[in-house]
Amino acid sequence: MKVLVTGASGYIGSQTCKFLNESGHTLVGVDRNMIKHQYCRETYIGDYSDSVMDIMLQDVDCVVHIGATSLVGPSVLNPSEYYNNNVVGTLKLLDGCKKHEIKRFVFASSAATYGEPEGGVCLETKQHQPMNPYGWSKRMTEVMLNDYAIAYGMNSVSLRFFNVAGADTLMQHGQEKAATHIIAKLIEMTMEGKEFTLNGGEFDTPDGTCIRDYVHVEDVAYGIYRAIEFLFFSSNSGAHIFNLGNKNGYSNLEIVEAVKNNTPLKPNVKIGPARDGDPAKLVADTTLANEILKWTPKYNLDTIVKTAYNWYKKKDDILVENSEKK
């Protein structure tokens, strides 16, 4: 099957393209910073103009839409960018799919759609009240997909990613420097000998720091693969939503301890102010994904931390080796 992947050069996109390519799909890669890689037969610079979409959507069987602007804090400061990129851009892509009669669409949504759920556990059927423009941009797209399913018969799966982390277990892909989530950033800054600031210490949690659910990037790629399989082989039409997480919540201070226990690093941390728009606790209930998509995460927090560290260590070793050759 021919699958178009947006955000194909990014952290999640690269891992997804690798998995889908190994699973036998023919891939078209699209990204604002698109680079050619071995997984995509065709590649395009991210542009949702009619002329470009007429070319890149030709004979496509399914679209996997990962590309987005995706930081909570900056979305509060610059909501225009998030609504333009994540809502208006996605609407153009959906209309391109409608024009080319593409009936299958997988969307990379987010746990940010939940806002502050009661008890911190996120169920797909619960009411949603995002706390920031990033979360609203994802929720708006989910609503659009539901409307497109009803009006145009475009079947979709929205996957609400929780905190995606870790690196490819074969060390072929990982996050680049200057990643923003706590595991990658904590490892990177500690390796550089820098102090790390945790965002907030007065949340309504046992240790005062916010709690999140972490899921390995390979497990997310597998979840996208299962979503594609569902759209092709299930008789359930319409717009569907599933959580992808580990069902376990860890506080920021527990993440610091996990880095200490699974790497040789000894982070130096302090607690700073909380970010605007940050809920206290977000943990996935993955019952629907387990039962309907037949998806279960393979990797735990220890593996997430170990692979993230090994990836940054590999990158640093390459930099040292290259500098010694000069």
What are the residue numbers of the active site?
A: 134
Q: What is the DSSP string of 88-156?
A: IHHHHHHHHHHHTT--EEEEEEEGGGG-S-GGGEE-TTS----SSHHHHHHHHHHHHHHHHHHHH--EE
- The CA–CA distances, whole Å, from 154 to 23, 148, 292 equal 24, 6, 19
- The CA–CA distances, whole Å, from 126 to 29, 115, 116, 132, 237 equal 34, 11, 11, 18, 21
Measured CA to CA, the distance from residue 168 to residue 216 in angstroms comes to: 9
Q: How many CB atoms lie within 10 A of CB 81?
A: 14
Place of tokens 């990613």: 161
Q: How many CB atoms lie within 10 A of CB 63?
A: 25
| Backbone dihedral angles phi then psi of residue 281, each to the nearest 5 degrees | -150, 130
| Backbone dihedral angles phi then psi of residue 77, each to the nearest 5 degrees | -80, -30
Q: How many CB atoms lie within 10 A of CB 150?
A: 11
Strand-strand pairing, 2-6 and 155-161: unpaired
Q: Residue 168's Cα: distance from chain center in Å?
A: 14
Q: What is the DSSP string of 18-34?
A: HHHHHTT-EEEEEETT-
- The CA–CA distances, whole Å, from 169 to 39, 217, 245 equal 17, 10, 18
- Which structure tokens are listed for 96? 């391109």
